[in-house]
Chains A and B, each alone.
Chain A
Amino acid sequence: MGSAPLLAVRGLAVSFQRDRDGPVSRALRGVDLSVDESEIHGLVGESGCGKTVTSTAVMGLLASPPARIEDGSIVFEGRDLLGLSAEERRKVRGRQIAMVFQEPARYLNPSFRVGSQITEMLGLHLGMSRREAEARAVELAGLVGLGGARRVLQAYPHELSGGMKQRAMIAMAISCNPHLLIADEPTTALDVTLQLQILRLIARLREKFRMGILFISHDLRLVRTVADRVTVMYAGRAVETTSARELYRGALHPYTRLLLASIPAAQKRGTRLKVIPGRVPDAQAIPAGCAFHPRCPLAEDRCRAEMPESREHEPGHAASCHFVGKPWPD
């Protein structure tokens, strides 16, 4: 892997304010995240932790107002995206950074043929003629496993099954050979057998095109199987980043450890399913100190007062907790 990461998000802070005098939601409070070339990087957390805000910020699609970027940088291939004009950012979208969404049925336009939704990008970003773009669309459809490519491209989204829609969505996303693909819960809306097929497809495309993939999911188990590295988010911050393998063996942050313990498994049959007590804090009222302290079994006074900085405890394994390695109470 190269020295500089493909995407480096540093200290990204985003807040939302609906009304001028209304409450401020601190959706992101200094997120650090990096994706290397041809890496699948998993981004995990409960809903509301800021995964989608992070990816939307990377795409440059935060609506402002209500969103405001308070601080931080998003460096992609050496340039800070936050410094670009709206028009420059548009040219990055779809061309260098592409995105696949959770529910293909809702994210495809019902009134346009699948093919035209792919070819319009090729014309715009790569200046292809109509015929070139159509040939490329057929090629892409084959690539993502859409059998009978020509017929599928002529179809409207509602004429395709859920799995085919997601494949079409992926074909659209990779059409311009992007260097970074953001996949936001790409399999959540699909049934289990399809999930596996789509995951395999994503893994294969990474091999073939060597693109970096930011794989967003609430499902730690799923991310662990597909990702090379994983970042766990909690209340608008990245609390732990490590390799998927390391995550198995030795998660450091109490939140990650509790998440792992709450995964149901066949071996644990008969034992009580562990849940994390309490709930995710409201972004309008983040607890002082470490945001996780009200739910943390290790919390002490220091956690209530002082926000832990992220530290690298082993090479490539960072966590932000005052008491990494402290014995776990029963």
Chain B
Amino acid sequence: MRLLTFALKRLGRLLLTVLLISTIIFFVIRVIPGDPALVIAGLDASPESVAAIRAKIGTDQPLAVQYVRWLAAVVRFNFGTSLSTGQPVTQMIIERFLLTLGLALLGMVVALVLAIPLGILSAVRRWSVWDYLGMLFSQIGMAVPGFWLGILLLLLLAVKVHWFPLFGSGTLKHLVLPAVALGFARAAVLLRLTRASMIEELSREYVVTARAKGLTERMVKYKHALKNALLPVVTVAGIQLGYMLGGAVIIEQVFSLPGLGRLFLTGVYQRDFPLIQGGIVFIALAFSLINFAVDILYSVLNPKIRIG
């Protein structure tokens, strides 16, 4: 019951955030120099045709009217049509978003699968071979840029031996290498965090209690300490997932994946305002939704949070 009110509160905050962001986006876009009507019409267009285009895309209206229209459209999840392709922006985004989402999720899976077991092992067997291996791994992971790793993976696993396709999309196999390239650096950070958090939790007094109760070492470590140790990991992983949605541009470029990042890049080049606006609001929404999900997950794990 308390979880439900907590969830509703967070949902309200989420909607407010998205509203705020769409407002900011709307005005920022209009401050940036460059008239979209001119871009569409071309430099040598007649004033009449430019005015016609303005009327068509609505930029001839007063700002307040434009703003209200914009909000009304956003609420209905309608971001207008792309200036360059004429397709509905929402449809374009969703087509690309599925790929980016898949990539981000798979990247996070890679990161977690690498980071959590190795992080726990490093903490439980401190100063062992595992610990040094983990530290080495995280050093490398933090030092190596994702795009470089991506190129390296392509050279080795797609060019030298043909285990994975060189480019293209559509199957899970296409996503494996980019996901590894994307997840590797995240794994390095999460590994350190898991290790540090687990070490800290193992030194807590409740661990003494658990041992004094005669629980097995396995229960002490992997039930009592681990549940607390994973709290910060969940938070950071959630934030990282959000960033991966918007920030996979480079990896998408390296692997020629038609994801959101590339869509926005072309949108910016072509001054495709509806596309940029819609895209940013969409990313903000996705980011907030992920944070919301993480908050809920976090409060299930950590009941103390629900008070606030």
Contact = CB atoms under 8 A, between A and B. Distances in A.
B214 A124 contact: yes
A103 B208 CA distance: 12
Given A158-B303, A158-B304, A110 B214 contact: no
Interface in A89-129: 90-95, 98-99, 101, 103, 106-112, 120-121, 124-125
B213 A172 contact: yes
A275 B274 CA distance: 81
Interface string B198-222: 0000001110111111111001000
Nearest to B302: A111
B303 A111 contact: yes
Contacts, number: 74
Contacts of B219: 120, 124
B303 A61 contact: no
B212 A99 contact: yes
A128 B26 CA distance: 63
B185 to A, nearest CB: 29
A99 B214 CA distance: 10
Interface residues on A, range: 20 to 34
B54 interface: no
B224 A121 contact: no
Nearest to A110: B304
Interface residues of B, number: 21
Contacts of A156: 303-304
B227 interface: yes
B296 to A, nearest CB: 16
A91 B215 CA distance: 8
A106 B204 contact: yes
A247 interface: no
A3 B205 CA distance: 37
Contact of A124 (B204, B208, B215, B231): B215
Given A61-B211, A110-B228, A90 B216 contact: yes
Contact of B214 (A95, A106, A109, A111): A95
Interface of B: 204-206, 208-216, 219, 224, 227-228, 231, 301-304
Interface of A: 59, 61, 90-95, 98-99, 101, 103, 106-112, 120-121, 124-125, 156, 158-159, 169, 172
Given A61-B208, A94-B213, A107-B205, 10 more contacts: A61-B211, A90-B216, A93-B213, A101-B208, A107-B208, A111-B231, A112-B227, A120-B213, A120-B215, A158-B304
8 contacts: A93-B212, A94-B212, A98-B212, A101-B212, A103-B205, A111-B227, A158-B304, A172-B209
